[in-house]
Every structure is written in C-alpha cells, then in structure tokens.
C-alpha cells in the first residue's frame, strides 16, 4: 500500500524551477542484450543482429543524442568508459547507480544484477565531473555496495518531485522499502509515496521511471497499473500541484513515461523523450506537455528495444555546483 513519510517541508521556494541544465551520459561501448536483466524487464527485446552491429547502432544513437542536447544548450558530461574486462552491457543507463544533489553529494546505490554492478565506477565519474568544473563535497552510499542483498536502483526506481520534496516509488525487487527509507534520511526529500504495481502480464513494473515522470508543473503516469486505492492516493497528491497526464500501458510500452524535463543555458524548459514516445503520445497529451517545455524527440530505437530503457534512463541528472571558469 502507499506509505507516506512526512517531515517538515519548506514551501517558500516552490515557484522556483528545479529542472537541471546538466546531465551525465555514458557511451554504450559494451552494449548488447542483457540476459541477466531480462528476467524482470519485459521491455527488452532481442534483435536478430550481430553484437558488433548492435553496438555500432547504439553508439550512433548515443552520440546523436549528445549532439542534439548540446545543440539545445544542455551541459552534457560524457563519462569515459574504457573497458577493464568486466561486462557492462547496460552502462548507457547510468541513472541507476548514482544520483547527485545541490549540496554537492554523489550518492551511490546497489543494483540487482551482477553485471550491472560492474558499471559502478565512482573514480571515473568524479574525474569526469571534475574535468567539467563540478565540485563534489562527499560521496554517500545507500545500502551495502560490496555484497548487496537489497537493492535501490537510484532514479530508475525513485521519481523525484523536487518542487514538493516528494519521492514516488513502485516497489519491486529493484526497489527495497527499507533502503527507500534509508535514502530519505540522507536526502533533501521529505515525503515518500511507495506503491505496488501489476502489469497485464501479472508482473510488477521493473523501474518506476518507465511508468512515471514528474516535472516542475506536470506529471505523466501509467496509473492503470496501480491498485485502485493506492492509485487514488498517488493521483490526489500529484494533482495538488501538477497537471497530470495519464498514459495507457500500451503507451508505457512505447516509453511515454520515460521522459525528463531539463533546462538549457537560457533557462528554457525542454522535455526530452524518445521518438517512439513522441509518436505514441496523443495530440492532446503533447499539447499539454508543450505548456511545460519544448518537446525534444530523439531516435534511440536500438537502445530502447534491446536495452529495455529509453531516453530518461540514459540521463543522470547533474545538480552539483559548478566552478566559475570564466
């Protein structure tokens, strides 16, 4: 059931935009179908293509996305991910193993699949951030990073409403309730709404960020997969401050929930999504979204088909303070 946790909330700055203009991205140098994650990720599909061709297509999509975002005025840090002999087929989805905050912290999280734990490379991350002028004050870990028995896959499983200091989380094997509460204690968030989901297949959704996205003034959610009582609680909370767009499970399957609001260097809002998501949104839904930012559809067909994650999964938001290099 929905589990609200409350702390004192400072509402004085709720008119402020909390979208970031900086992201971290990791090139898909080892990209291929990940058999380990496919056990609970129903969004993954195998293609009858050689691994080398799959990687080439994924890399082309990745660098096209980097180019588009930089061209729109988003600060993109590309983290060097040279191989060290460890398999990292899903490294292109870095938002599952770390997050950042405005206090200067990098927070590390335990992931469920062994070959995804190979992606956790804080030294590489800190080096990439430092080269771009971002200051890290502390590295914080949630849970047991070396031998985890419980998992919390960062902003894959936690949707952060920065305006209202609220976290939304669909519970699953990758989203442990105790670790959610542990994270809440070290974060700037004050309220937690956790809930159960059930897709048509009978399975829980593997990551909250494929069913749900929250921006400064809007929310997109596949609420039909949430049990009715919990659904009412979640929607009621969202509707207090957000314009809510409900998407169907079919639209979720086209990654309409896997979108992200960003700002550019002129403080203009962007809503980044895959081309498949853009095509699956109705005209009315796109018109609502346009009130909250310029829609930026990007073709990542290979990555989202084989990897089971889309544009939002490829973007690790960077809220760290940046040195003035002028």
Cβ within 8 Å of residue 171, ≥6 positions away: 177, 194, 195, 196, 197, 204
Mean pLDDT, rounded, of the chain: 91
Compute the distance between CA of residue 230 and CA of residue 208 in angstroms, rounded to an integer.
15
Mean pLDDT of 92-104: 96
Q: For the domain bounded by 22-317, which CATH number is listed?
A: 3.75.10.10
Considering only residues 51 and 289, tell me which one the structure prediction assigns the higher pLDDT.
Answer: 289
Interval 23-35: pLDDT, tens: 999 999 998 866 6
Is residue 10's pLDDT more than 50?
no
Interval 238-271: pLDDT, tens: 999 999 999 999 999 999 999 999 999 999 999 9
Could you give the 3-state DSSP secondary structure of residue 98?
Answer: strand
Interval 151-195: pLDDT, tens: 999 999 999 999 999 999 999 999 999 999 999 998 999 999 999
Is residue 318's pLDDT more than 60?
yes
Is residue 6's pLDDT more than 50?
no
- C-alpha separations of 4 from 32, 192, 195, 204, 234 in Å: 39, 5, 10, 20, 10
The pLDDT score that the predictor gives to residue 40 is 62
> What's the pLDDT band for 46 if we cut at 50, 70, 90?
confident
Least confident of 80-84, 273-277, 306-310: 80-84
Cα of first residue to Cα of last residue in the chain, in angstroms, is 51
Could you tell me which of 221, 203, 284, 302 has the C-alpha nearest to residue 257? 221
Which residues on adjacent β-strands are paired with residue 159? 168
Place of tokens 């980097």: 66
> What's the pLDDT band for 83 if we cut at 50, 70, 90?
low
> What's the pLDDT band for 11 if we cut at 50, 70, 90?
very low
The pLDDT score that the predictor gives to residue 14 is 41
Question: Where are the chain's structural domains?
Answer: 22-317
Mean pLDDT of 74-91: 87
In the chain, the percentage of residues whose pLDDT exceeds 90 is 81
- For the beta carbon of residue 193, count every other beta carbon within 10 angstroms: 19
Write out the two tokens for 166. Answer: 């609220």
pTM (two decimals): 0.91
| Max mean pLDDT range (10-14, 80-84, 150-154) | 150-154
Compute the distance between CA of residue 131 and CA of residue 103 in angstroms, rounded to an integer.
19
The pLDDT score that the predictor gives to residue 38 is 63
Mean pLDDT of 222-237: 96
The pLDDT score that the predictor gives to residue 325 is 59
Compute the distance between CA of residue 25 and CA of residue 59 in angstroms, rounded to an integer.
12
């Amino acid at each position: 059931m929905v589990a609200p946790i409350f702390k004192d909330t400072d509402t004085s700055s709720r008119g402020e935009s909390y979208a970031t203009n900086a992201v971290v991205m990791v090139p898909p140098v080892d990209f291929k179908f990940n058999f380990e994650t496919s056990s609970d990720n129903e969004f993954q599909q195998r293609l009858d293509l050689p691994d080398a061709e799959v990687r080439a297509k994924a890399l082309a999509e990745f660098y096209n996305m980097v180019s588009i975002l930089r061209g729109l005025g988003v600060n993109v840090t590309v983290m060097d991910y040279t191989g060290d002999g460890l398999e990292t087929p899903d490294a292109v989805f870095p938002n599952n193993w770390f997050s950042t905050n405005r206090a200067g912290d990098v927070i590390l999280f335990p992931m469920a699949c062994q070959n995804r734990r190979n992606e956790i490379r804080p030294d590489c991350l800190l080096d990439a951030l430092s080269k771009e002028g971002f200051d890290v004050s502390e590295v914080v870990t949630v849970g047991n990073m070396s031998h985890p028995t419980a998992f919390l896959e960062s902003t894959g499983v936690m949707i952060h409403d920065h305006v209202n200091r609220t976290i939304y989380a669909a519970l699953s094997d990758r989203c442990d309730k105790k670790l959610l509460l542990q994270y809440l204690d070290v974060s700037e968030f004050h309220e937690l709404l956790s809930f159960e989901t059930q897709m048509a297949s009978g399975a829980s959704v593997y990551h909250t960020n494929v069913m749900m996205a929250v921006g400064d003034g809007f929310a997109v959610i596949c609420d039909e997969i949430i049990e009715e009582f919990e659904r009412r609680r979640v929607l009621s909370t969202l509707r207090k401050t957000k314009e809510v767009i409900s998407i169907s499970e079919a639209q979720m399957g086209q990654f309409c929930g896997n979108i992200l609001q960003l700002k550019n260097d002129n403080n203009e809002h962007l809503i980044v999504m895959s081309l498949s998501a853009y095509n699956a949104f109705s005209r009315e839904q796109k018109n609502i979204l346009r009130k909250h930012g310029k829609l930026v559809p990007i073709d990542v067909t290979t990555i989202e088909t084989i990897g089971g994650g889309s544009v939002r999964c490829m973007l690790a938001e960077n809220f760290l303070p940046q040195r003035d290099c002028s």
